[in-house]
Chain A
């Protein structure tokens, strides 16, 4: 069985390489990454530039590789069925699962190779950025402490306000290094644009009231604010009490602030290297690409290549945008429902109802697959834990791809391969 699967995988890889698919994609990715590296300016600092490069590059690599993988997978079986090359394979002692798995392994190996190239490029870009900036300069420190690092995010729990100060409680991770900084991240609600910054004072205490760290800050009303806290100050405790005092600076400055309800106050503790985090981010992306390969292959067992590509793309887009269908249709529906009692009926058509149910169903079915964010976290130096990689592999590869594999094998078994298409 292993021999046959590896044989089919090897054939798929050879075909992808010799048809110049891999080489074209390789140069496209390199051009894309090099283009970003040469043109992105960010906020003018090395840290800002690298952060934006990581964010754009990971997003673009994901999209390009996703489309390319879907293309390769949709064509892999459907084109062979169309040009009848599959006849010489299926008359050999090959089980349908061996054929499907062999193709899938071949396609994801090609994707893995290209992901490694992208990963290597970004790793080298990070290394160059680190080498070019002075380690003791503010830019060098920001690069080292906020971007080229893996930081564990610990959310603080709001415990209320007292004497005009906001309070949070937070549990420290078990092992905190003595060197480096932890970063406090917070965000305000701003109802108007271009509000002047606010001044305030952050105090970090132990639960029994001993002050560990205290600093004044000037915080922006829109966007994310970050504050570095030396780790040496936090070593001796397992829990922290965070307090923010607003200090209105004068006329025209906000006299009170509201912390953003959907963005927790978070303390980021360094817990690993950028290289490790990049590798885990690539693994998450690999799992997503593997799912796309499974989808393309299975759809390719049912339809001809163009129809398979269209169907698979439509499914992916519908999954990604299902949440918007749900959000956009829900208020209208409740609005119509209210009017129903006042004989001013705005009818909800059956197509809207069916569409909403389909969107809700699709979103429900695909929710576990959609919860893995990659590029924003890597660019923010936020760690992607191994547990998440395991979960992602289990859900995307073993559950979803496994289901698609079963469906694909069933279709291959039932299908009359030699029927004219």
Chain B
């Protein structure tokens, strides 16, 4: 496959350099501090190489991707590579930790739900039929062997972007010691403070009211991840159904916050807390306060 949109656009930014690119259906940026344009380009190349590699490997759209080939072998036992095995181990842990709320088999529910702002709700029977294909407990996973039931499929949408941010930072850090920040569509990790020991300043948008009530977070080390319902919803009979689906019911989480932002040492961990909190609906704040031990910002 060729990717005409895989470009890196360098621009001056606050006296430093920013490298913009597109990955995982999101606008992304890598920021450096205290290095020149050439160095920034080298750093951005390493970052994008890793991010695009993970994107291609776990693409749902590319029939040649590792993920597509795994899904196409549903019904027969499949041996997976080490990286995929780590992702599956993670999925297993999260399924248990979330009391079945985090489920990488729940992607099929997208076939029933179109979050286009309209009032079209799926037929309960349609959801019920799809639910037969949902459930990590229907899968046999004994690393490195995966046995998906036929008609079932998995995807790593819930952790892929955060994992890619951590993996890219890890990779580029091995070769460059200069300060940097990676932002993959709002999932952010930094290598440390900026050149002058100042924190990176990160704006948290107010999803319902763009441009208003924005908070700024000063991040010196670690990562931030945000999970949100953004503008994707369906509305019917005065109820708004956000796009966070609960794999246990097949229906959207009731009273989910507009967005949850969590700070953690790694982007992956921050993303897990944000996703798990979303599934708690009205109890998201309580859950984060009592369980996570991490700083968090919830918008409703």
Q: Do A and B bind each other?
A: no
What is A's interface to B at a CB cutoff of 8 Å?
none
